[in-house]
Amino acid sequence: MTTGTPLQSFTIITTDPNAVMEPLHDRMPVIVPRENYDRWLHPDPTRPATDLLRPHDPEPMTAWKVSNDVGNVRNDSPELCEPWQGPPTLFS
């Protein structure tokens, strides 16, 4: 049964990793540059925006180690985005 209420949802589209992400994972989310927002949100049927589905420029990106708490969806605080300050481990 259709209620007429719009469904609000989202999708994360992934692509190959760039140089920042490659050591961490075999894919990364597509990041649409600000100058292409309008093209992505209002595509021209004669010019598909599929060329935007590529790895983001790694130059403006930075990666840092974070707490393992990030991997648990029950954890939700701004501190999760801060660089990890825990004791050194065998792998750090």
In the prediction, which pLDDT does 20 show? 93
pLDDT in tens, 37-54: 999 999 898 988 999 999
Beta strands in 28-70 (DSSP E): 28-29
* Residue 19 counted as domain residue: yes
Q: For residue 77, what are the domain limits?
A: 14-55+63-81
* Residue 37 counted as domain residue: yes
Nearest 5°: phi and psi at 12?
A: -100, 115
The model's pTM is 0.69
* Residue 77 counted as domain residue: yes
* Residue 4 counted as domain residue: no
Total domains present in the chain: 1
* Residue 70 counted as domain residue: yes
In the prediction, which pLDDT does 86 show? 65
Read off the pLDDT band of 87 (50, 70, 90).
Answer: low
* Residue 35 counted as domain residue: yes
